[in-house]
Amino acid sequence: MTFTTLASNKNPAAPPPLKPGRAARQLRRFWAWLFWLLLWELGSRLIAPELRFLVASPTQVLRRLIVLGSQASFWWTAGRTLLRISLGFMLGAVTAILLAVLSFHFNWVREWLAPLLLFIKSTPVASIIILILILLPSRYLAIFIAFLMVLPILYSALYQGLEQTDSQLLELAQVFELPWTRRLKGIYLPEILPYFKSAAASALGLAWKAGVAGEVIGIPQGSIGEQLYNAKINLSTPDLFAWTLVVICLSLLGERLFMKALNSLQRQISR
């Protein structure tokens, strides 16, 4: 028996550190949220009484949110904005898929699209909003803004995923004359989905930010943007924070549901 063997027997390798469990992570998250809420509450109380209308406290926002939630118009307003932004996102995703596939097969399509996509990515959102307002009624604004914000992000991710596909596997699929459905499931989707998932998460958040910003400028009737504009006009910070919280919740909920659907699709493909 060698010295190295004896040393290794006497000093066994230390076990890897245990990762915190789910309950511990949730507890830390809870304390983090509680800390920031308490800091918000404290900050709102330290402001001079005559200026407290500028910063609503968490309790004021919660009370206002409960009042709004008891009104049918609240749900109609949130539903309209949710529908418009979701429709814009889905249209952007479908268009990005079609354009990425065409660009992958035809170089001239990619070259012709490059200036347009660069223009969309580089132009200020406010300029696009004003241009759309000149051309279309304000009720369509959130749809087109979400569509334009999502399109370049998803297109770039999808095209990058298509470029990463294994050319040898594609040649084998062509030799054995595999149907396009099996090529899609076995070759393309496993490469594309990781890129699409990471891009979709950021694209969804951007769609909500730009879509609601467009509604604030265009003020379509019965929209969250209209409510935010009214809160600004009336200097009602409880309304402002309450509707902002609604936007955050809807954005996070949409992202969770969409990511869950993509994860489910990824699991089915890997079987």
173 pLDDT above the threshold of 70:
no
- Helical H runs in the chain? 3-10, 22-46, 58-69, 72-105, 107-122, 125-135, 141-163, 167-175, 180-183, 189-218, 224-233, 237-270
By CB neighbour count within 10 A (0-12 exposed, 13-18 middle, 19+ buried), where does 104 fall? middle
pLDDT tens digits for 184-217? Answer: 666 777 788 888 988 998 999 999 999 999 999 9
pLDDT tens digits for 149-166? Answer: 999 999 999 999 888 876
Long-range contacts of 122-130 (CB under 8 A, 24+ apart): 125/149, 125/210, 125/213, 125/214, 126/213, 126/217, 129/213, 129/214, 129/217, 129/218, 130/217
Q: Which listed CATH number (1.10.3720.10, 2.40.50.180, 1.10.1200.10, 1.10.8.870) goes with 52-270?
A: 1.10.3720.10
- Sequence-distant (6+) residues with CB within 8 A of 259 are 197, 200, 201
Query: Is the model's pTM score more than 0.85?
Result: no
Instruction: Tell me the pLDDT band of 269, cut-offs 50, 70 and 90.
Output: confident
Q: Are 271 and 189 in contact (CB under 8 A)?
A: no
- Sequence-distant (6+) residues with CB within 8 A of 265 are 189, 193
Q: Are 203 and 92 in contact (CB under 8 A)?
A: yes
Task: State the average pLDDT over residues 64-75.
Answer: 94
State how far the Cα of 95 lies from the Cα of 22, in Å rounded to an integer: 38
Map tokens 């992202």 to a residue: 255
pLDDT tens digits for 215-261? Answer: 999 999 999 999 999 999 998 899 999 999 999 999 999 999 999 98
Instruction: Tell me the pLDDT band of 41, cut-offs 50, 70 and 90.
Output: confident
pLDDT for the residue 37: 87
**At 106, which amino acid appears?**
F
Long-range contacts of 162-169 (CB under 8 A, 24+ apart): 162/100, 162/101, 162/104, 162/188, 162/191, 162/192, 163/104, 164/191, 164/195, 165/191, 166/191
**At 206, which amino acid appears?**
L
pLDDT for the residue 5: 45
pLDDT tens digits for 105-143? Answer: 899 999 999 999 999 989 999 999 999 999 988 889 999
Inter-helix orientation angle 107-122/72-105, to 10°: 140
State how far the Cα of 265 lies from the Cα of 11, in Å rounded to an integer: 46
**Rounded mean pLDDT of the chain?**
85
Instruction: Tell me the pLDDT band of 29, cut-offs 50, 70 and 90.
Output: confident
92 pLDDT above the threshold of 80:
yes
Q: Are 215 and 231 in contact (CB under 8 A)?
A: no
Q: For 115, phi and psi rounded to 5 degrees?
A: -65, -40
Q: Are 262 and 193 in contact (CB under 8 A)?
A: yes
pLDDT for the residue 51: 67
DSSP state of 13: P
